[in-house]
Structure 1
Amino acid sequence: MEKMRHLFPLILLPLLLLSPHSHVEAAKGFIKTRGLNFVLNGNPFFAHGFNAYWLMTLATDPSQRSKVSSAFRDASGHGLLVARTWAFSDGGFNALQYSPGHYNEQTFKGLDFVISEARKYGIRLILSLSNNYATFGGKKQYVQWARNQGQYIALDDGFFTNPVCQGYYKNHVKTVLTRVNTITRIAYKNDPTIFAWELMNEPRCQSDLSGHTIQEWIREMAAYVKSIDNKHLLEVGLEGFYGSSSPHKQFNPSSQVGTDFIANNLIPNVDFATIHSYPDQWLSNSNDRFQLVFLSKWIDIHLQDSKSIIGKPLLITEFGKSWRDSGFSIHQRDALFNTVYDKIYWSARTGGSAAGGFFWQLLSAGMDSYRDGYEVILSEATSTSRTIALHSRQLRRLGKVHRKK
């Protein structure tokens, strides 16, 4: 879903908290896959994480960088190991790429800071390279740039097939992957702080519900990413919708969007599968209980397919519940978090494909303009914060058990 449409004293049990630098050693070595698992230096790695799309945006302004540091410090203190964030901002104010192939160095230095600060706190990063939506430019901006060059493109979905748009996208991929960090002096493609690249946030092509357009775009762009960087993992950015020919299409919460969870993730250069889940948005006319039942089934069927058909790890890279929903309570949000976390834990414990989950979204204190209803501020010491820290403990214990086998 397009979550940014609304924009523009810590009390935890000591045993649940970790030292802010507990995971700094994790910055050594690249994350790999082995069957249904992620591994780091041969040991199991569970991607307990969060979304914070705003990191580069705030880090572009040096006076705001303390919020980035605070977010990583709080996250590390609660056992969170991976952040998913944007490595794109196309056109508009303080854009990373303000016109095709032209970049704002100050904004790029903001992303440099994000990576260096993540490294400092032992946080890995999933960096998304583009957006399906017009927020921060996205495919709409690429299409407009191509139109400005005389290209006739009827729909924004032309992004996936127009050769000029494809060239712009590939240039952005190459520019980001070969960027040398001005702080660490390490090229992005050589930095193990980066967990994985993401082709696009929630790609959709509703002008071709057969799925062929998205399938071929993923195949081509995944191969291109790997031709530049074969050290890092790669994922697509999918929400998990099944294609029109899939026997599981009845599990989709809405109409087809031109993607196919199974076919898209079977592409060889895609290293792991992802799903998103927002039952409060997808099933907004149903009650909370019905939404939790849907969530449980949604995760189960994707875990099953990831294990038995795709044969790759699965990350639940977005989930959450908005306090803007009618009748919202913290208890409801905690129930949703616990449902996701329990699925991940039991799947991982029993040899399944679940390898981690990322809630939407983490904020630092004082970021009121970024509140979208889904925000979690760990320093507010809510029951949700305790739930997050508890899941971290469970995964750490499980990791130790797996290492002994």
Structure 2
Amino acid sequence: MFIKVQGNQFIKNNKYYHFIGTNFWYGAHLAANQSGDRTRLLKELDTLKALGITNLRIMAGSEGANHSPYNMPISMQPKLGVYNEDILEGLDFLIAEMQKRDMQAVLCLSNFWYWSGGLSQYVSWVTDETIPYPNDTNDWEKYMRFTAQFYTNTAAIDAYRNHIETIITRVNTITNTSYFNDPTIMSWELANEPYAIQNQVEYLNWIENTSAFIKQLAPQQLVTIGGEGNTPFPWFTNNNALADYKFESLDYITIHIWIQNWEWYNPNKHDKTYNDALKKVKNYIDEHLFIASTFNKPMVLEEFGISRDNLDYTNQSTVNHRNTYFKDVFDILLDHIKNETNFVGCNFWAWGGFGRVNTPGEVSNNQMEFIGDPAHEPQGWYSVFESDQTTVKLIKEYNSKLKAFNNLNS
């Protein structure tokens, strides 16, 4: 059965659906028969299932020439409107294997950031302008303003819409089920972390029109934006969750929290910065819970993470501070679930699983294997590996608590 929204809750098989899941953004690419590693993919899924993880957030689009800088090595859409069937069949395989394990997929259809091509690639394709990668220019504002041109470019939006239709109407080559008819797919996201920047009116039009378009194609599945919420700097991003989520075609609210990236927390000064950072986490959650309550929609914290201890990037380093943070976030979630508030699930960032850190702390094109850190970021930064047994044990423990609570209250 499809997951539905009933009031401020997700419902699966007539029961509340709560989850501690993960970001597994590279899942379709890992599942590709030729360029991926299906043996590892199956191992990852079995491991995640054993931890009680039932919800995976996955990229359902990657754009740009293969081996583009800071991007996935092999692209789903290497040229405008031209698809790599191997990656598409990887997505088929992933969804089919998730179905066997009774897992739910949150499929993100594009990206504001360039590590999967995304909106900036559509702009580049239709304008012939070069993407100003901030890894090269050290100018993030220039990149963001370049990408936000997307909302005002009809050709770019049309190309993006063609991708949406290609994916949602695709017939899975393994299950022979159309994607829009597959209950394994819980929801569709417009894009990962879209910012309005200088085009707020056009941004809102894009949200309204795209979410309605997806609902028309996939009326049985849920739709959300896939964004951070208000962000910690709304005066620049021009994101306003109260305006962004007002549309009936959006079923639930997502937020992301990045205590290091937003400079709330310093991993080299844990004792001095952590408590204040956690207060800001709680405030950010409460701020958006008010908005979720206003619309009577569920809310998911679908991205949060923290580095390994002392900003070490190697698999072997300790993760005591990460465990503290994860436990605190899980406790906040569990408390809200027990009180039946709108905060109903979370996805930590990000599952590195059985992958290895080949270039610790360095930006890498990930030519060797996928881990949780996208190619434009320091490798080993936020990845949670299977070998992080204390973190793995914590995730399993809290998913067991969620399951016990749901069974007791079903």
Question: Take 1:342 and 1:304, find their aligned partners in 2: how far apart are those partners?
Answer: 19
Instruction: Give the aligned partner of residue 47 of structure 1.
Output: 19
**AA paired with 2:393?**
R
Question: Take 1:366 and 1:283, find their aligned partners in 2: how far apart are those partners?
Answer: 28
Question: Take 2:76 and 2:111, find their aligned partners in 1: how far apart are those partners?
Answer: 13
Instruction: Give the aligned partner of residue 105 of structure 2.
Output: 125
**AA paired with 1:69?**
L
Match of 2:171 among 180, 183, 188: 180
**Residues 381, 166 of structure 1: alpha-carbon distance in 2 compared, 3 angstrom cutoff:** closer
Q: Are residues 1:156 and 2:147 paired? A: yes
Question: Take 2:310 and 2:262, find their aligned partners in 1: how far apart are those partners?
Answer: 12
Secondary structure of 1:182 counterpart: coil
Identify which range, 323-332 or 382-391, moves more after superposition: 323-332
Matches within 5 A, 1:127-146: 127-146=107-126
Q: CA deviation at 1:44?
A: 0.8
Normalising by the residue count of structure 2, what TM-score does the alignment of the two structures yield? 0.83
Q: Are residues 1:83 and 2:56 paired? A: yes
Contact 1:116 1:183 in 2 (8 A): yes
Report the count of equivalent residues: 358
Instruction: Give the aligned partner of residue 400 of structure 1.
Output: 407
Contact 1:37 1:355 in 2 (8 A): yes
Q: CA deviation at 1:214?
A: 1.7
**AA paired with 2:326?**
F
Instruction: Give the aligned partner of residue 307 of structure 2.
Output: 322
Instruction: Give the aligned partner of residue 373 of structure 1.
Output: 381
Instruction: Give the aligned partner of residue 83 of structure 2.
Output: 103
Match of 2:339 among 350, 371, 383: 350
Structure 1, unmatched stretches of 5+, are 1-28, 243-251
Contact 1:214 1:259 in 2 (8 A): no
**Residues 396, 258 of structure 1: alpha-carbon distance in 2 compared, 3 angstrom cutoff:** same
Question: Take 1:216 and 1:113, find their aligned partners in 2: how far apart are those partners?
Answer: 34
Question: Take 2:114 and 2:46, find their aligned partners in 1: how far apart are those partners?
Answer: 31
Instruction: Give the aligned partner of residue 275 of structure 1.
Output: 255
Matches within 5 A, 1:180-259: 180-208=171-199, 211-241=200-230, 252=232, 255-259=235-239
Secondary structure of 2:351 counterpart: coil
Instruction: Give the aligned partner of residue 340 of structure 1.
Output: 329
**Residues 285, 75 of structure 1: alpha-carbon distance in 2 compared, 3 angstrom cutoff:** closer
Instruction: Give the aligned partner of residue 136 of structure 2.
Output: none
**Residues 253, 372 of structure 1: alpha-carbon distance in 2 compared, 3 angstrom cutoff:** farther
Q: CA deviation at 1:356?
A: 0.6
Match of 1:301 among 263, 287, 304: 287
**Residues 263, 390 of structure 1: alpha-carbon distance in 2 compared, 3 angstrom cutoff:** same
**AA paired with 2:253?**
A
Q: CA deviation at 1:300?
A: 2.2
Normalising by the residue count of structure 1, what TM-score does the alignment of the two structures yield? 0.84
Question: Take 1:66 and 1:72, find their aligned partners in 2: how far apart are those partners?
Answer: 10
Contact 2:192 2:227 in 1 (8 A): yes
Superposed CA RMSD in Å reads 2.0
**AA paired with 1:339?**
D
Structure 2, unmatched stretches of 5+, are 67-73, 130-144, 267-272, 359-370, 372-378
Question: Take 1:64 and 1:142, find their aligned partners in 2: how far apart are those partners?
Answer: 28
**Residues 284, 254 of structure 1: alpha-carbon distance in 2 compared, 3 angstrom cutoff:** farther
Question: Take 1:323 and 1:113, find their aligned partners in 2: how far apart are those partners?
Answer: 32
Question: Could you give the per-residue CA deviations for residues 68-119 of structure 1, whole angstroms, max 9, x where no partner exists?
Answer: 1111111110101100010011112132112222211111111111111111
Q: CA deviation at 1:121?
A: 1.8
**Residues 256, 325 of structure 1: alpha-carbon distance in 2 compared, 3 angstrom cutoff:** farther
Report the identity percentage: 28
**AA paired with 1:70?**
K
Instruction: Give the aligned partner of residue 260 of structure 1.
Output: 240
Q: CA deviation at 1:181?
A: 0.8
Question: Take 2:206 and 2:79, find their aligned partners in 1: how far apart are those partners?
Answer: 22
Question: Take 2:329 and 2:109, find their aligned partners in 1: how far apart are those partners?
Answer: 26
Question: Take 1:368 and 1:84, find their aligned partners in 2: how far apart are those partners?
Answer: 22
Question: Take 2:401 and 2:234, find their aligned partners in 1: how far apart are those partners?
Answer: 34
Q: CA deviation at 1:367?
A: 3.6
